[in-house]
A and B are shown apart, each in its own frame.
Chain A
Amino acid sequence: MNALPASITEAAASLRRRETSAAELTEVALERAHRDRLNAWLLVADERARAQAKAADERLRRGDAPPLCGIPWACKDIIGTKGVETTAGSRILDGYVPPYSATVVERLDAAGAVMVGKTNLDEFAMGSSNENSAFGPVRNPWRADRVPGGSSGGSAVAVAAGHALFALGTDTGGSIRQPGALTGVVGMKPTYGRVSRYGVVAFASSLDQVGPFTRTVEDCAIVCQALFGKDPHDATTMPLPAEDLRRDLDRGVEGLRIGVPKEFFIEGMEPDVERAVRDALAELERQGAALVDISLPSTDHGLAVYYIIQPAEASSNLARYDGVRYGLRVEGRDLLETYRRTRGEGFGPEVKRRMILGTYALSAGYYDAYYVKAQKVRTLIKAEFDRAFERCDAIVTPTSPTVAFRIGQKVDDPLAMYLNDVFTLPGNIAGLPGISVPCGFSDGLPIGLQVMASSFQEATLFRVAAAYERATGFHEKRPEVAA
């Protein structure tokens, strides 16, 4: 075997037919990861992966293995892994080896999945191009001079380039869905409160959510099934009864109402992107869905709300990197100077920019004008989505206004960079689930379609995405670089 199967479901079937083994899949994945030229990986955990594969094969032999048993996966390096260095893409965590694993890692460990290693990302997940990593940019497998999107660029690429069958990312403003779109894979952000954040290096706590990258919508549902659920270590996880997330995958969209918000078809969107999304809407309509025009006027303020709340929370979350208990310490003449130098040299420019912006937004005299105001508009945005979901079952939009752009193209223009997330961040502000599925190409670069659903209605989101996926072959296309 010199390539991984096309999906988790295929691999799981092969494993159960004894056509392959977890050990074999793991060797392929390790070999792919080691040969990676896209800078997707920060660490390949050979030993850990082989040990997990061995245990998975035993479990498969016993016949009581869950669906993810023996499946190689890639972990965004912002998710803490016990005994495996975790960098968050930053120099400031230099040498930090967590003494505990994130709950999501524990759940995948318990499911028998095999973690291949840790993937590259924008420093502390702050970015939309993966150019903000302290360990160099990640390249897009469809064209190496393009960005893969961010911040979970390495994870997206690991799946797109066939190094792993799924990957975990984190999505604060689009950091799973946008790189999913730009690399032609399925990327999904669950409803806020679905997945534990415990052990995941915090960026913006009220927006962060862990989610998967996969090749297919069904794979996405399988991974979500393993991740979802209340965690006693995370007070912001929702206690909900267990449900089968795959139950509606084959139901089709007949009779479903698909909302099309006019505010999401804006100037500045690339014509190919708009065309692909309109075609996708037509396809859903052809399958029997009713398209409903809706309006979400306050999403226009989403970017502003996001660029207050997110840096504000981040400025506090990243205060702990002080060089006292772990990570980098750059000594100055006294402790204050040591703090300043450690953080001045340990953080990259984008992180510093956001620390300053967030500190400013929370500081005396500005708090009400910025932070409280943003929280109020957040209420409005959420209310508009709630009203919209009275008229429709799902909302379909582009994932990103553009396809993958050139490395270096937007690095000195933060605002242009931030606009990449303009379609995804409203979902984070309102806490809604969203998925990006491949919906075409523009000049050989993938385009993503975003499907959003009401809170905790992931099954509906999978239903719409799966119906679309079945009718198209975009998700089966693989980049040549990866071959």
Chain B
Amino acid sequence: MSLPYETVIGVETHVELATRSKMFCPCSATWFGAPANSLVCPVCLGLPGALPVPNRRAIELAMTAGLALHCEVPAHTKFDRKNYLYPDLPKGYQISQYDLPLNVSGWLALDTPDGPKRVRIRRAHLEEDTATSKHGEGYALIDFNRSGVPLLEIVSEPDLRSADEAVAYVQALREILVFAGVSEMRLEEGAGRFDVNVSIRFTEDGEVRWPPQSEIKNLNSYAAIREAVPHEAERLWRSWRDGGELRMRTGKITVGWSPERRETFLQRSKEEVEDYRYFPDPDLVSFTPSRETVERLRASLPELPGDRRARFARVYALSDYDARVLVADRALADYFEAAVKASTRDPKQIANWVTGEVRRRMKDAGDGAGVPFPPEQLAALVELVASGEVSGSAAKEVFGDMWTTRRPPSEIVRAKGLTQVSDEGAIAAAVDAVLAENAKAVADYRAGNARALGALVGQVRKRTGGKANLSVVNRVLAERIARGEATR
């Protein structure tokens, strides 16, 4: 279905930085789940006389994010006050960055169904988070634990054209930030929030029209973006078509998204636009990022997901799918590479283990669990299979044992007697015995029932205690049956 308009989208992403302490005070930044108002001090409570002192790590993480997003580092940067009164803002102003943000003019590469695309990043600046509120009937309860947690606000240009593209953008952004160690961005903990600017563009009476946008505030999940964006775009379209408010409007409006009612609602119209009275915060001095700092941060920047995927596909000859799955988890990708380094076999075989069994076990083990044995042992297991010493199915058993006992695979194979029988003489004897006992199955197979062969293979394996090398069994069986046919 094609829409009569184009949706134009820009996203402002707020992410909490992975610091231990807050942006301007030494209170713990690990606020999620802490007892109310237990992580506060004069600074983040906005007590009279309290003063901010910036967190070096927060500034460096923000610069790291900028470098990962190909931003320019300005010669000077500073903090400004954004003035507005709200109960979750203890000082009556938020310390933010106005005209000299820490990062400007970057981009992010995005794969879209229409091919690769660069989403331009206008700026990424540092600020402090607000307190959290719980709402009751006619009142609100305020907890200042989150107050002052460092936030990076990343503002994209209006380069996105659909809700799916917007979601792909924030997913790609999240991947980069997590990879670079800038933020854990746990959306379920509110550590990433999105303000999405939506406008519609269309042609009417031969003229391109692009009426003012709506800013959908505070979306906190991909699902919300996916729903809210088309909803608001359609609402704007109808408003235009039916001669509604959009035809009168000259500036942007701010709307909220109600996930229950699945609709947007007006928060602030253009007439009520807040006058934030930004000015340089006189409690803080300006910053001149040193060349050494920038170069040190650049050097410590890990290979970013897009680059790594491309390299995996190229160097290890992996499928796009495998590369994607591996790179989606930095630890997994690192494990894979270490195992490849320890092995002489085809990296694809390592990849199969990592994307399959390893990932499944890690998922079962839950959050934060790593692989219990070193990558060299996975390489050793792959070697056992590739050399024919153990069968594929036995290898799975060995793998399970490695996971729980952490013993080396060779030891497990020995202890459990899982070594595969590849000796042709032994297998041939078993095959002959099976053929003699299963004349009917042989006849069926010859009559064209391919499944009968499977039954025969099973019989041979049974006879050899499950240790027969299947490829040898298959070959010998095929030879014997063919020869039988010839001699008949």
Contacts and interface: CB of A to CB of B under 8 A. Distances in A.
B49 A319 contact: no
Interface string A308-349: 000011011011111011100000000100010000000000
Contact of A320 (B54, B92, B275, B277): B92
B45 interface: yes
B51 A198 contact: yes
Interface of B: 42, 45-54, 81, 83, 85, 87, 90-93, 142, 275, 277, 279, 282-285
Given A235-B283, A316-B92, A319-B83, A325 B45 contact: yes
Nearest to B25: A233
A80 B48 CA distance: 8
Given A200-B49, A236-B284, A316-B92, 7 more contacts: A98-B42, A198-B51, A199-B42, A199-B49, A316-B279, A325-B46, A325-B90
A202 interface: yes
Contacts of B45: 325
A335 B89 CA distance: 14
A386 interface: no
Contact of B279 (A99, A102, A325, A362): A362
Contact of B53 (A206, A233, A363): A233
Contacts of A402: none
Nearest to A101: B49
B48 A96 contact: yes
A235 B79 CA distance: 12
Contacts of A234: 51, 53
A367 interface: yes
A363 B277 contact: yes
Interface residues of A, number: 44
Given A235-B285, A362-B83, A371-B279, A316 B93 contact: yes
A86 B279 CA distance: 28
Contact of B282 (A200, A313, A321, A335): A313
Contacts of B83: 315-316, 319, 362
5 contacts: A235-B51, A235-B54, A319-B85, A321-B92, A325-B47
Contact of A322 (B50, B52, B92, B284): B92
B90 A206 contact: no
Report, nearest first, the 3 A-B pairs whose CB atoms are least far apart: A319-B92, A362-B277, A205-B282
Nearest to A327: B48
Contact of B48 (A315, A320, A324, A367): A320
Contacts of A367: 277, 279
A86 B48 contact: yes
A327 to B, nearest CB: 9
Interface string A199-230: 11110111000000000000000000000000
A322 B279 contact: no
* Residue among B46, B48, B90, B142 with the highest chain A CB neighbour number at 10 A: B48
B53 A201 contact: no
Given A206-B282, A236-B283, A320 B91 contact: yes
Interface in A173-207: 197-202, 204-206
A100 B42 contact: yes
Contacts of A315: 83, 277
A232 B53 CA distance: 8
Contacts of B284: 235-236
A206 B280 CA distance: 10
A394 interface: no
Contacts of A294: none
Given A232-B53, A236-B285, A313-B282, A363 B48 contact: no
Contacts of B51: 197-198, 202, 233-236
Contact of B47 (A79, A98, A339): A98
A325 B90 CA distance: 8
Nearest to B284: A235
A80 B277 CA distance: 28
Contacts of A93: 48
A324 B284 CA distance: 25
